[in-house]
A and B are shown apart, each in its own frame.
Chain A
């Protein structure tokens, strides 16, 4: 069966450090992978999309890698700030449906 697993439910880090989140998938052959941010009481907000032929993508302090051999994406938040505290979700498409992982909640301590 298809699975999307995000490495941990929660990640606590010190301000200024780099947060690294993992998204592993099974039985998907995605053309692309997406990352979203969700704040409490709000809907997910799109952050980045990386295609299967791209190894790395950056947006400001965010960096995403995509390894289709390992079936894994890594999401990095560099120079983290308390405002980065949120839940981060990875998402994959299959059969015209976008499926989400359960998310990793990041808490950045000042």
Chain B
């Protein structure tokens, strides 16, 4: 069973569109995250939720809106996509704090 699963694996879309990426974890963890990995491979945190509550919101355009319907799910909705949004987006989870993150396999977003 996949511990942290995110869909879709690949997302190709036009500028200006709205898209969503879904993430689910079956580890029973309380904390979930969204990270962005750019072309230079830097992994940067975007958001963190603990028990459905937003606890970290980095300097991310408000076109990006995370939603956590329950503690096992954290989705990412992106409005008005721009070329610069092209990257790999990773969902992750942990049991409290930042120790030992479990990552999904990533969603490669390409904005044309």
Contact = CB atoms under 8 A, between A and B. Distances in A.
Interface of A: 32, 34, 36, 41-46, 49, 87, 89, 93, 96-100, 102-103
B105 A98 contact: no
A18 to B, nearest CB: 24
B106 A42 contact: yes
12 contacts: A42-B106, A44-B43, A46-B101, A87-B41, A93-B98, A96-B56, A96-B98, A97-B58, A97-B98, A98-B98, A98-B101, A100-B42
Contacts, number: 51
B11 interface: no
B101 A44 contact: yes
A44 B103 CA distance: 6
Contacts of A32: 99
B29 to A, nearest CB: 13
B45 interface: yes
A103 B41 CA distance: 8
Given A41-B105, A42-B105, A43-B92, A102 B45 contact: no
A96 B103 contact: no
Given A43-B90, A43-B92, A98 B45 contact: yes
Interface string B35-71: 0000011111100100000011010000000000000
Interface in B65-112: 90, 92, 97-106
